[in-house]
Every structure is written in structure tokens, then in C-alpha cells.
Structure 1
């Protein structure tokens, strides 16, 4: 965890441990507090317990009952002020459904820059 945070928190949802570690580190280096989940189901449990996040970064394809596109819809319904940034190496979602999409392999700097803009 970074030694300094500016109060912004991000929930990272990625089932690949190395990818999750890499993007989590990029967010931490940018001053975000990072919460991690390996699946959308795990993320929904955490959100249901009332964790406070400023944005969500999720992969589309994760194991479990729900995927990243489900998370976008659920977040819009329950946490409409929390932006959801989406990534995938396999899917290219429709633009109206997803506002912020980053194809894999992605540039973590671009994601963090967009996250800063949305969280400010």
C-alpha cells in the first residue's frame, strides 16, 4: 500500500493475480486506496457490506455468477455516482453500455489518468 493517499478509493476486480497486482500498484502509486477482488461476486459482497469506493475497475470476464458487464449494470442501479472502468482482452463491448473501456493489454498510466479525472 502506498504511504500516502488522497482519500480516493478504487475497487479493482481482476481474476488474474499478476494483472490485479500490477494495476493495483499503479493505483497505489497514484495515491489511491486500493481494494481488490478476484471476482465480480466477491466485489458485490464487499460493496453490499458498505465499503466506500470512488470508482471501480473491472475485467469483463471473471469466474462466478456475474461478469464485469453485470457489475456495470448493478453499479448503475445501486451506486450511480461510482464510475466503472472496464477492461477485457476478449470482448469489445458496445460504447453506449460502457463509457470507459480499455482493451488488454492496456497502458496502466492511461487508466490511472482517467480514474483521477473521474474521482476528482
Structure 2
């Protein structure tokens, strides 16, 4: 039996976050949610481990999703990072190593498939 892939979803728009959490959970992923980068950092500092971070770029507060992605990747290199935005054009240079950008609007089926592909590749890479 394989364990569930654990994903932290960071999105400040409550309805979008709730829908994302529900859809990804229905796809068999274990999902934890945060409304902003500071909340996400506190969750990471609690010691819970994640295979993937899925974060929006534009959020209220002093840390945006790109900064969060870099901080998390620096602290926990094996994690896969997916960044999304409907307002900013994110380039490969903006992302942490092996980070992936998905523009809004996105298909949650596509996001779920991407999470599974990235984490499967990561398991092979770190095995």
C-alpha cells in the first residue's frame, strides 16, 4: 500500500482554495490548506512534511508565493513546487529549482495529474 501524496495548497481566495482542496482530496491526495504565505510557513515549521507545494503568487502580506516557494524549496529540497497566477507572467527564472508554473484558470484534473507526475519523478530521483 502506498501512502497518500501530501500537498499544501496556499491560496488567499477562500472559494478557490476550498474548491481546490475539495477537488484534490476527491482525487485521492491528502491536502492541507493555508490562506497566505505566513500561515503556510507556520504549517511547515510545525514539522509536517509535504511532497508538493501548490501556491498562488499574489497574496496579501509581506511574502508572496514566489518567495514562499523559494523559502520552502531551500528548507526542504525534495519538495515539488507548483506556482500559479492569473495576473503575473512567471518565467522559469522566477521559480525555484524544478519548480513548475501553471496559469489560471487551470483544470484541477490537470493539476492533480501534474502533482502525481512530479512526486513520482521525485521519488525516483531521490531513491
TM-score by length of structure 1 reads 0.90
Secondary structure of the structure 1 residue equivalent to 2:117: helix
1:74 and 2:104 are equivalent in the alignment: no
CA drift at 1:95? 1.4
Deviations 1:36-67 (A, max 9, x none): 00001100011011111110100001111211
Cα distance in 2 between the residues matched to 1:77 and 1:108? 27
- 1:40/1:62 contact within 8 Å kept: yes
Partner of 1:28: 25
For structure 1, the 5+ residue unaligned runs are: none
Secondary structure of the structure 2 residue equivalent to 1:96: helix
- 1:6/1:31 contact within 8 Å kept: no
**Runs of 4 or more above 2 Å deviation:** 96-99
5 Å matches for 1:1-120?
A: 6-98=3-95, 99-120=99-120
Deviations 1:65-115 (A, max 9, x none): 211000111012101110110111111111133331111111111111100
TM-score by length of structure 2 reads 0.85
What is the root-mean-square deviation in Å for CA atoms of aligned residues?
Answer: 1.4
* Most deviating of 85-94 and 5-14: 5-14
Secondary structure of the structure 2 residue equivalent to 1:57: strand
Between structures 1 and 2, the one with greater helix share:
2
